[in-house]
Amino acid sequence: MAKPKVQTITLKVSENTKEKMQKYFEDKKRPKTPPYAVFQADEADTVVTLYESGKAVFQGISADIDANIWKETEKRLNPGKQIEIKKAGEKKKEKPSNNFVYYANTIGSDEVGTGDYFGPIVVSSTYVAKENISFLENLGVKDSKKMTDAEILRVVPEIIKKIPYSTRILNNRDYNGKYSDEVNMNAMKAILHNKVLLDLNEKYENKADYIVVDQFTYPSAYFKYLAKTANVQKNITFLTKAEDKCLSVACASLISRYVFIKEFNKMSKSVGFDLPKGAGELVDEAAIKIVKQSGFEALNELVKLNFKNTEKIKKALKM
């Protein structure tokens, strides 16, 4: 019979989880404590060491079980926080590995606003040359999904000083006017992506190794949406989660979000109160308030009327 394997797992915990751990292991602590550690304790087949930095190390046959218990505690006490957990032997993911587009000269595009009831759809493309990779990494672009609105408003002006880009905005009035059974959101997105890619490719056609789109539909469907378009950008590399794999897509995402935030703030000022993002209950409440203030017609300028929120609002107002 094979001998059970000893595992070593590291979990970064917050102050509130540290407090919980100290109370739980109070009667299980070892008399000696390693340097910079709060305590070291025994939990069945696992030795648990909690360091002042918040690093908790689980070593033993059942280390994965105990680590997962405290991972869930960390998640429950700190909802929305990125969980940092690593098993010994796993390679640290500092940069995408074996990624053929990450270290190439690329044109990439991405969009925002498609899941928001309020606010426009914004699509951007950027051209990122190899020599600008370290500049963007130092700004934190490779971790763009973790960036807050405040960080985006600070970083994007630095990006657009150095990185070529193109942006198109589809406001809600035009979106509602175009939307039909034949022209859905993906069709409009494809048209916008095509426009911003053509804008960049005209200038950098001979410099980009790849043209990358964050895939939102099958490539065959994408080009079908563009069947009636005279000038179509070809030779596209479609990647899922392209924002994590391609810096030009990550930059495009940040610029789109930057423009979206600016447009969203203008919209909030126009109605006299801060509008919520997304498509949840707070969004419904805000839309109902607008209808009561200015009439249902006002929503045509502010929301995407094909969302299910519209029917909820009508039902709530008995329209």
The residue whose two tokens read 């094979």 is 2
Q: Phi then psi for 169, rounded to 5 degrees? A: -115, 130
Q: How far apart are CA 257 and CA 186, in angstroms?
A: 18
pLDDT for residue 95: 47
In a domain, 181, yes or no: yes
pLDDT for residue 97: 45
Examine the domain organization and report whether 157 and 200 are in the same domain: yes
Q: At what angle do helices 15-24 and 63-77 cross, to 10 degrees?
A: 130
pLDDT for residue 3: 57
In a domain, 157, yes or no: yes
Domain range for 212: 106-265
Taking the whole predicted model, whether its pTM rises above 0.85 is answered as no
Examine the domain organization and report whether 220 and 282 are in the same domain: no
Examine the domain organization and report whether 223 and 157 are in the same domain: yes
Q: How far apart are CA 43 and CA 233, in angstroms?
A: 60
Beta strands in the chain (DSSP E): 7-12, 37-43, 46-51, 55-60, 85-87, 106-112, 121-128, 165-170, 210-214, 236-239
- Cβ contact 126:164 at 8 Å: yes
In a domain, 70, yes or no: yes
pLDDT for residue 201: 87
* Cβ atoms < 10 Å from Cβ of 201: 20
Tokens of 20: 């919980």
In a domain, 93, yes or no: no
Instruction: Tell me the per-residue pLDDT of 285-306, one tens digit each, with 9 for 90 and over.
Output: 999 999 999 999 999 999 999 9
105 DSSP 8-state letter: -
In a domain, 94, yes or no: no
Q: Phi then psi for 135, rounded to 5 degrees? A: -60, -45
Examine the domain organization and report whether 129 and 116 are in the same domain: yes
- Cβ contact 231:195 at 8 Å: no
In a domain, 202, yes or no: yes
Residues 6+ apart with CB under 8 A from 11: 55, 56, 58, 67, 70, 71, 74, 83, 84, 85
CATH number for 110: 3.30.420.10
Examine the domain organization and report whether 15 and 120 are in the same domain: no
Examine the domain organization and report whether 259 and 173 are in the same domain: yes
Examine the domain organization and report whether 28 and 170 are in the same domain: no
Residues of the chain where predicted confidence (pLDDT) is lower than 50: 1, 92-98
In the chain, the amino acid numbered 165 is Y
In a domain, 101, yes or no: no
Nearest-5° Cα angle at 202, 250 to 126: 10
Query: For the chain, how many structural domains are there in total?
Result: 3
Examine the domain organization and report whether 258 and 111 are in the same domain: yes
Instruction: Tell me the per-residue pLDDT of 172-181, one tens digit each, with 9 for 90 and over.
Output: 999 999 999 8
In a domain, 238, yes or no: yes
Examine the domain organization and report whether 43 and 176 are in the same domain: no
Q: How far apart are CA 10 and CA 57, in angstroms?
A: 5
